[in-house]
């Protein structure tokens, strides 16, 4: 493991001006006591900050679809009082956006010109509510000019859901049924990355990479809320270079 901070750098078609990475699990922290975990979080945030051009902008995530725009004018206030939102975007170089996940999808978006970058936290609720569409609307970039990367999340062989989740998606769009594989009576395995790709494709975003890691299955590298019945979080961070 990198002594500074183990991380995954997106392999995508994003512009060179966009810098981003996804942090992973420090060995042992998923089984730490609350006191030890709090210390680990503090240590990880200090190590994370050392890799960034500025203090990251954190959000108060609520599994919704609200998006916040961050600029030089409001960055200080947003850092001081994180807004309730599940996505953020910026056109200002050096402002570091972030979302925290531990099974939900972390999604990175940018335009091909490198003039805007966005991050989104998309669990099944937020994805169904339209957080990706809201982020795209806020960016104001045509889908054909947008590139996306999906980071580590619970995978299609581990995400067990009930009829409520399946109906939330398949009720409005029966064509999504193939992304829910029957498991047993009243239970299905849902493919969250595939559902995200479908929603992005509906907005014309076809250049999408990632979505291959399973947080639930890889306990050596990722936190998983479902696996550990409560856990730490990983972070997707992104910014525009000057």
Q: pLDDT class for 45, splitting at 50, 70, 90? A: confident
* CA torsion through residues 27, 213, 96, 12, sign: positive
Instruction: Return the sign of the alpha-carbon dihedral for residues 143, 120, 103, 185.
Output: negative
In a domain, 133, yes or no: yes
Question: pLDDT (tens digit, 9 = 90+) per residue, 19-33?
Answer: 999 999 863 344 444
Residue 159 lies in a domain: no
Complete DSSP assignment for 59-97 = -B--SS--EEEE-TTTHHHHHHS--B-SEEEE-STTPPE
125-131 contact pairs (CB < 8 A, 24+): 125/63, 125/64, 126/63, 126/64, 126/65, 126/86, 127/192, 127/195, 127/196, 127/199, 128/168, 128/169, 129/63, 129/64, 129/65, 130/65, 130/199, 131/64, 131/65, 131/67, 131/86, 131/87
Residue 206 CB neighbour total at 10 angstroms = 13
Whole-number Å distance between alpha carbons of 150 and 115? 20
Residue 132 lies in a domain: yes
pTM over 0.85: yes
Is 65 within a domain?
A: yes
Residue 120 lies in a domain: yes
Which residues pair with residue 182 across a beta bridge? 188
169: CB partners within 8 A, 6+ apart: 128, 176, 179, 180, 195
How many distinct structural domains can be found in the chain? Answer: 1
Say which CATH number the domain at 60 has.
3.60.140.10
Judged against a pLDDT cut of 60, whether residue 4 lies above it is answered with: no
pLDDT in tens, 148-199: 999 999 999 999 999 999 999 999 999 999 999 999 999 999 999 999 999 9
Beta bridge partner(s), residue 228: none
Check: CB of residue 195 under 8 Å from CB of residue 176.
Answer: yes
Range of the structural domain that residue 69 is part of: 7-153+207-240
Residue 13, token pair as written in the block:
């078609």
Residue 84 forms part of a structural domain: yes
Give the DSSP H or E segment for 214: none
List C-alpha distances in Å: 118 to 25, 90, 135, 183, 216: 23, 7, 7, 35, 25
Structural domain includes residue 91: yes
Mean pLDDT of the chain: 92
């Amino acid at each position: 493991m990198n002594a500074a901070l183990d991380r995954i750098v997106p392999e995508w078609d994003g512009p060179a001006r966009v810098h981003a990475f996804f942090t992973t699990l420090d060995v042992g922290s998923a089984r730490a006591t609350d006191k030890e975990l709090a210390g680990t979080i503090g240590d990880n945030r200090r190590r994370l900050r050392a890799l960034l051009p500025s203090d990251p902008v954190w959000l108060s995530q609520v599994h919704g679809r609200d998006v916040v725009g961050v600029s030089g004018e409001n960055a200080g206030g947003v850092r001081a009082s994180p807004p309730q939102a599940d996505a953020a975007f910026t056109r200002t170089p050096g402002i570091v956006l972030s979302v925290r996940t531990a099974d939900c999808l972390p999604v990175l978006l940018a335009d091909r010109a490198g003039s805007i970058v966005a991050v989104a936290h998309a669990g099944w609720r937020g994805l169904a509510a339209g957080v990706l569409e809201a982020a795209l609307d806020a960016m104001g970039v045509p889908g054909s000019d947008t590139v996306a990367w999906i980071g580590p999340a619970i995978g299609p062989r581990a995400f067990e859901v009930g009829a409520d989740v399946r109906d939330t998606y398949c009720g409005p769009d029966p064509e999504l049924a193939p992304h829910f594989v029957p498991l047993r009576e009243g239970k299905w395995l849902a493919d969250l990355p595939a559902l995200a790709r479908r929603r992005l494709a509906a907005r014309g975003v076809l250049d999408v990479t990632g979505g291959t890691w399973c947080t639930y299955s890889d306990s050596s590298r990722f936190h998983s809320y479902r696996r550990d019945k409560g856990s730490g979080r990983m972070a997707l961070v992104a910014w525009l270079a000057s």
